A and B are shown apart, each in its own frame.
Chain A
Amino acid sequence: MNITAIIINVIALAAILVAFKKDRELGIQSLKIAARSFIKILPMTLIIILLIGLLLGFIPPEQISRFVGEQSGFGGILLVGIVGAIMHIPAILSFPLAASFLESGASITAVAAFITTLTMIGTITLPLEIKELGKEIALLRNGMSFIIAIVIALMVGASMETIL
Chain B
Amino acid sequence: MKTSNNILKDIYRDTAVLLIVVIIASGLLVTNPLKTEPVLSIFWNYLIEMMFILPAVMVIMGIFAVFVPDAMIEKYLGKYSGIKGMFTALFIGSLPTGPLYIAFPIASQLIEKGARVSCIIVFLSAWACLKIPQEMMEFQFLGGKFMLLRLFFTVMLVTLMGILIEKILQKKQ
Contact = CB atoms under 8 A, between A and B. Distances in A.
Interface of A: 1-2, 4-5, 7-9, 11-12, 15-16, 19, 22, 26-27, 29-41, 43-47, 49-54, 56-58, 90-92, 95-96, 98-100, 102, 108, 111-112, 115-116, 119-120, 122, 125, 128-129, 132-133, 136-137, 140-141, 144-145, 148, 151-152, 155-156, 159-160, 163-164
With most chain B CB atoms within 10 A of its CB, the pick from A47, A53, A136 is A53
A152 B131 contact: no
30 contacts: A9-B52, A12-B55, A12-B56, A15-B63, A16-B59, A34-B55, A50-B22, A53-B25, A53-B46, A54-B25, A57-B38, A57-B42, A58-B28, A58-B35, A91-B129, A96-B50, A99-B142, A100-B42, A112-B146, A115-B150, A116-B154, A120-B128, A133-B120, A141-B165, A145-B125, A148-B160, A151-B157, A152-B157, A155-B149, A156-B153
A51 B107 CA distance: 35
Contacts of B142: 95, 98-99, 102, 111
Interface stretch (B12-20, B70-78, B79-87): B12-20
A56 B109 CA distance: 45
Given A156-B150, A160-B149, A36 B140 contact: no
With most chain A CB atoms within 10 A of its CB, the pick from B66, B138, B169 is B66
Interface of B: 7, 10-11, 14-15, 17-18, 21-22, 25, 28, 32, 35, 38-40, 42-43, 46-47, 49-50, 52-67, 99-101, 104-105, 107-108, 111, 117, 120-121, 124-125, 128-129, 131, 133-134, 136-142, 145-146, 149-150, 153-154, 157-158, 160-161, 164-165, 168-169, 172
